[in-house]
Amino acid sequence: MNDTPENPSSEGTGIPRSSASEDFSDRSFWIGYALLLLGIALLGVDILLIVNAGGANAPEIVLLAVAALLFGAGARSLHNWHRSTDRARSGRSEADSPT
């Protein structure tokens, strides 16, 4: 006979293991987080290049634009992930939420 409960809690959190793992293993969360970090890192590299060169030229401006796009895409992905998890927790559907 198995003495373990069907849905054991995560250690010390009181959250059922299935919901804790679903929230943090969601692919859109990790993609958004990676894009956000990549955008921040690229922005830092670009700032260093501009400071060391004494001014911005075309490649640094293009790199700055790419960093901004990556940063924005990551932020948007994380925002969408957050909205979808909030809807799932409250039981609302996509049609119930305002646009």
Q: What is the pLDDT along the chain (99 residues), one digit of tens a residue?
A: 555 555 555 455 555 545 555 655 578 889 999 999 999 999 999 999 999 988 888 989 999 999 999 999 999 999 988 988 888 788 766 565 565
What's the angle, vertex CA 40, arms to CA 28 and CA 47, rounded to 5?
160
> If you count them, how many residues does the chain have?
99
What was the pLDDT predicted at 15? 52
Name the nearest CA neighbour of 68 among 93, 53, 92, 46: 46
What was the pLDDT predicted at 11? 56
- Residue 27 Cα distances to 35, 50, 73, angstroms: 12, 34, 14
**What are the residues facing 9 on neighbouring strands?**
16
- Residue 95 CB partners (closer than 8 Å, separation 6+): none
Domain spans, the chain: 26-87
Tokens (6 digits) for 89:
């927790």
**Global confidence as pTM:** 0.62
DSSP code at position 26: -
Name the nearest CA neighbour of 82 among 24, 35, 34, 41: 24
What was the pLDDT predicted at 68? 94
